């Protein structure tokens, strides 16, 4: 009984911690982009105020499926969070494999798709079809690289892949397989929706995509979902390619470095069209990933 209570408290703490950290990272990104453009930006605690304001507005609902879609998106993302090791905090990650995490990440997109079906706006369905098409694009090179790594280290659990890189700084996958790391970084840009791959949000073309009809608390839930998604994807990248960490503070430092690099690269480029984005992923990154995996195997 006490154990169940302790586990429930741990669930709550991990969720609140990663959501707060994700919102802080979003604020830091806005400040970095502002300084690149030679101006002061909003203060770095701005997303907290945005979320508080959004939960205080009235919102109208479009029916049961719309509500259920928002809850499913947020719930799916929280469920994925428990299978990834964050620094020294393991919850269920002893039994979590990489393939399970990728499978669960799709539930969030399906939840948003259900929400857009309920709202009935054609721009929302355009946005969500672009997001799902892009997922089709970036999964291919990512899975090719993952199968290469699984073959090399003969294990597919994330904790196992993390511990195989222990023992020194030159053992990280960043230095033993640098080309695979670069391809995985390009895939990370597509997963997080940064430019040049942000055709699914596209604020002036289709009116910000799937969240076009949400206002008030639904938009607040979507912002929280986005913040937890950022933490999941960054943690996955750091665990697989940068060696993970035992201490939570060093882990946060590594995630921050990857995040600032991705933001700086993303602030320079314009936007790909969705067909060009998917074909880009299937051309050069896929060929280089296949060459790299053949190199690993033989």
Partner 1 sequence: MKDKFKRGKWKEFLDWAQNRSLSMLHYCTGCGAIELPPTMTSRYDMSRFGIGPAATPRQADLLLVTGYLSTKTLRRLIYTYEQMQEPKFVVGFGSCTINGGMYWDSYNTIKQLDKYLPVEMYIAGCMPRPEAILDGLLKLKDKIETGEAKGYEEYKENIEFYHKNQEEALGEVQRTQ
If the CB atoms of residues 48 and 185 are measured against partner 1, the closer one turns out to be: 48
In this complex, which beta carbon is closest to partner 1, that of residue 112 or of residue 158?
112
State the minimum distance, in angstroms, from the CB of residue 10 to partner 1: 30
Q: What angle do CA 245, 251, 256 make, to 5 degrees?
A: 145
Contact 191, 266 (CB under 8 A): no
Q: Work out the widest C-alpha separation in the chain, in whole angstroms.
A: 61
**Cβ proximity to partner 1, 40 vs 298, nearer residue:** 40
For partner 1, the binding residues (CB under 8 A) are 30, 34, 37-43, 46, 49-50, 52-53, 56-60, 203-204, 207-208, 211-216, 219
At its nearest, how many Å lie between partner 1 and the CB of residue 101?
A: 31
- Least distance CB 12 / partner 1 (angstroms): 23
- The Cα 259–Cα 41 span in angstroms is 18
Which one, 37 or 154, has the nearer CB to partner 1?
A: 37
Residue 47 beta carbon to partner 1: minimum distance, rounded to whole angstroms:
9
From the number of C-beta atoms within 10 Å of its C-beta (0-12, 13-18, 19+), residue 16 rates as exposed
Write down the least CB distance from residue 29 to partner 1, Å: 13
* Structural Rg of the chain based on CA atoms: 19
User: Is the Cβ of residue 159 or residue 219 nearer to partner 1 in the bound state?
Assistant: 219
3-state secondary structure of 200: coil
Distance CA 267, CA 194 (A): 8
């Amino acid at each position: 009984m006490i154990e169940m209570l302790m586990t429930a408290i741990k669930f709550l703490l991990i969720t609140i911690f990663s959501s707060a950290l994700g919102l802080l990272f979003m604020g830091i990104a806005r400040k970095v982009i502002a300084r690149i453009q030679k101006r002061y930006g909003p203060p770095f605690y701005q997303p907290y105020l945005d979320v508080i304001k959004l939960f205080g507005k009235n919102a109208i609902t479009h029916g049961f499926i719309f509500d259920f879609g928002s809850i499913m998106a947020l719930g799916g993302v929280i469920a994925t969070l428990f299978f990834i090791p964050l620094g020294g905090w393991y919850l269920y990650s002893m039994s979590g494999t990489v393939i399970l995490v990728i499978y669960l990440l799709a539930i969030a997109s399906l939840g948003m798709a259900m929400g857009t079906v309920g709202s009935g706006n054609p721009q929302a369905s355009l946005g969500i079809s672009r997001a799902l098409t892009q997922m089709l694009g970036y999964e291919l090179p990512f899975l090719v690289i993952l199968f290469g790594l699984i073959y090399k280290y003969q294990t597919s659990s994330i904790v196992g892949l993390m511990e195989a890189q222990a023992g020194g700084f030159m053992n990280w996958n960043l230095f033993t397989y640098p080309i695979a790391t670069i391809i995985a970084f390009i895939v990370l840009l597509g997963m997080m929706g940064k430019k040049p791959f942000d055709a699914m949000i596209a604020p002036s073309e289709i009116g910000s995509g799937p969240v076009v009809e949400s206002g008030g608390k639904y938009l607040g839930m979507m912002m929280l979902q986005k913040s937890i998604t950022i933490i999941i994807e960054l943690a996955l990248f750091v665990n697989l390619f940068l060696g993970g960490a035992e201490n939570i503070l060093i882990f946060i430092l590594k995630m921050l470095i990857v995040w600032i690099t991705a933001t700086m690269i993303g602030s320079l480029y314009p936007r790909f069209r969705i067909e060009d984005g998917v074909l880009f992923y299937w051309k050069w990154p896929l060929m280089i990933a296949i060459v790299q995996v053949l190199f690993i195997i033989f």
